[in-house]
Structure 1
Amino acid sequence: MVSEWNRVKLEEIAEITGGGTPTRSNEDYWNGDIPWLTPTDVTRNNKNHLSETENYITAVGLRNSSAKLIPENNVLMTSRATIGKSIINKIPMTTNQGFANFICNREKVRSEYLLYLLNSKAKKFEQLGSGSTFKEISKGELKSFVVDLPPIIEQQKIAAILSSVDEAIEKTEQIIEQTEKVRKGLMQQLLTKGVGHKNFKKTLIGNIPDSWELKRFKDICRIVNGQVDPKQMPYSHMPHIGNANIEKFTGEVLSYKTAKQEGQTSGKYLFDHKHVLYGKINPHFGKVAYPGFNGICSADVYPIEPSEGILPMYLKEVLLSHRFISYTTSVSGRTGIPKVNRKDLDPFLIPVPPLDEQKKIIDIIGNVEERLKNENLKQDKLKEIKQGLMQQLLTGKVRVPIDNEEVVET
């Protein structure tokens, strides 16, 4: 342990309480003005602070349940099912029973620091959880959990450093969200209106440029038939692409291995640089990719070869479009796992521009997708930096400099 740091139990630096749920059947308990936090509110939130919840309870509901009003600027941590996800409440709020709520002793710990400390222990808390239906870590386990705690002034500096990285991550996330909106808008515009057209014609899918054609999927696309044995050469040494190797909605191929490395034994489809891969399972995930190399793919993925009048990259964008995803979702089976059959794709209508315009459309969308990819890489790097800093700063392996003139913030 670092010399200036104290080894303490969590119960020594914070009062740890739980939450509760007012009776759902009593309307007098709900739709009041007291925020009532659930794990869902926390897990879908990418920020460290929360000031609103999806559900609200009344003062009567609070009095007649085990819910407790937690003062603002304390740390609320999920303790059931999803264990170890923490936020700071910016306003007084209650929680359901899926939380351990840390009311900080301000003389010993700052909430911002405790937030990062608890997040760094999430995996350990998960290991301490127990339960048959879902895991839960008990308040007793948390109260006796031991941590090493730096002086208040050092806590504040550590939290400030980590907060600055979080701010950069949040700004990058905002750029990613905005760029994604631009990409979707461009796809909608370019795949129906094209580039620089003034004259349009009415079709079954709306107005499209006069020079474009509207064709059925089955007339311009061919899905590969016949499977190969991934245990045999040369297929065993080829890249294997399954549904899990295609990122949803982006058209990106994720990391992959050869069929032999994965121990694949069941029949696979063969594809090459002419094919677009389409994941037929759970079509609402929009799993489409153009690998641009030779390989084999899962039987749950269709290798689709477009005719000579269509570029594979253009077809990829069509299959990633909102119209196609909505169509395939509507025709997929409702029983069991949703799946798109070959015949389901046959009647889908595809607007086909001249080849030179297809190239322009691909370039425009490609530029936005490249920006999106770079921002995602930047965000991944920032998250990696944050993890490294947490490991170094929260353990005292790296100390932050403290000036003698610095004072503790109240």
Structure 2
Amino acid sequence: MTWETVPLRSVARVDAVHVAPEAISTSDVYVGLEHIGRNGAIDETYYPAAREIKSSKNRFDGRHILYGKLRPNLAKVARPRERGVCSTDIYPILPGSSVDRAYLAHFLLSPEAVGFAAARTAGVNLPRVSWSALGELPIPLPPLAEQRRIAAILDEADALRLTAICRLRLFQKLEESAFELVLSVSR
């Protein structure tokens, strides 16, 4: 089965609504590049008060995909669940009606998409990808039902991977505790 391939700009757009620091509510979530993990997870433990934000930010909500344009090889792509503001080094991308948000986020995290963006950066010390360059990213566009099915499978794979990581950490802690117990008994 062959799917149409279209440029990203034809199915999504940057929806950058700039917000001045004084207009940011203390209840707004702030997401910086440092809060987005490589797997797309957002570290939701850090919500600074508005008084801590000193510069303009971009507004986002649960419809957006957050895409780190600074050093795109780090694959900083996330799907926020709530409303907030983000660094201006993050594009709030709004998917159009022909693309599923989860499918698009997974695609933007794919090695092909990361490599495409990384190869089109400008700047030596702080390489960034422009929206005009990223907008040319070719994206396979299956029917929406198929996009949702693919995204659901990838979401499940992510959940299994995270479960495996948590279990591994627990086993490591158990091993460390057992070793400490053996050492304390032998003294």
User: Normalising to structure 2: TM-score of the pair?
Assistant: 0.89
Distance (Å, rounded) in 1 between the aligned partners of 2:122 and 2:175: 43
Structure 2 counterpart of 1:241, which letter? V
**Equivalent position amino acid for 2:14 in 1:** I
| Closer, same or farther: CA 370–376 of 1 in aligned 2, 3 Å | same
Question: What letter corresponds to residue 239 of structure 1 in structure 2?
Answer: V
Which of the numbers 356, 379, 384 marks the counterpart of 2:173? 384
Q: Structure 1 residues 242, 393: CA separation in 2 closer, same or farther (over 3 Å shift)?
A: farther
1:306 alignment partner in structure 2: 95
The residue that corresponds to 1:267 in the other structure is 56
Greater relative contact order structure (CA < 8 Å, 6+ sep): 2
Alignment partner of 1:219 is 2:14: no
Provide closer, same or farther for how the CA distance between residues 360 and 261 of structure 1 changes in structure 2, counting only shifts above 3 A.
same
* Alignment-derived partner of residue 28 in structure 2: 238
Larger Rg: 1
Unaligned runs of 5+ in 2: none
**Cα offset, 1:345, TM superposition:** 1.2
Q: Alpha carbons of 1:262 and 1:365: their partners in 2 closer, same or farther (altered >3 Å)? A: farther
Change (3 A) 1:378 1:386: same
**Distance of 2:132 and 2:72 partners within structure 1:** 15
Q: Aligned residue for 1:229?
A: 20
SS of 1:257's equivalent?
coil
AA aligned to 2:52 is G
CA drift of 1:230 comes to 3.9
Give the whole-Å Cα distance in 2 for the aligned partners of 1:366 and 1:262.
Answer: 36
Segments of 5+ residues of structure 1 without an aligned counterpart are 1-198, 200-208, 402-410
Q: Secondary structure at the match of 1:259?
A: coil
Shift of 1:334: 5.0
Task: Report the CA distance shift for 1:267/1:375 in structure 2 as closer, same or farther (over 3 A).
Answer: same
Counterparts in 2 of 1:44-63, with a 5 A limit? none
Relative to structure 1, the CA distance from residue 379 to residue 229 in structure 2 (aligned partners, 3 Å threshold; closer, same or farther) is farther
The 5 Å alignment of 1:55-94 reads none
1:116-175 CA-partner distances (Å, limit 9, x unpaired): xxxxxxxxxxxxxxxxxxxxxxxxxxxxxxxxxxxxxxxxxxxxxxxxxxxxxxxxxxxx
C-alpha spacing 1:233/1:324, structure 2 compared with 1 (3 Å): closer
The question of whether the paired residues in 1 share the 8 Å contact of 2:21 and 2:50 is answered with no
- Between the aligned partners of 1:222 and 1:334, the Cα distance in structure 2 is 23
Distance 1:400 1:304 in 2: 59
- Once residues 233 and 320 of structure 1 are traced to their aligned partners in structure 2, the CA distance between those partners, rounded to angstroms, is 29
Could you say which residue in structure 2 is the equivalent of 1:343?
132
C-alpha distance in 2, partners of 1:256/1:280?
A: 23
Q: Is the 8 A contact 2:29 2:48 kept in 1?
A: yes
RMSD of aligned Cα (Å) = 2.2
CA gap of 1:262–1:390, structure 2 versus 1, over 3 A, is farther
> How far did 1:311 drift?
1.2
In the TM superposition, 1:343-382 aligns within 5 A as 343-382=132-171
Aligned mates of 2:174, 2:33 — CA distance in 1: 30
Deviation at 1:225, TM superposition (A): 2.4
The percent identity for this pair of structures is: 26
Q: Distance in 1 between matches of 2:117 and 2:176?
A: 40
Q: Distance in 1 between the 2:51 and 2:160 partners?
A: 32
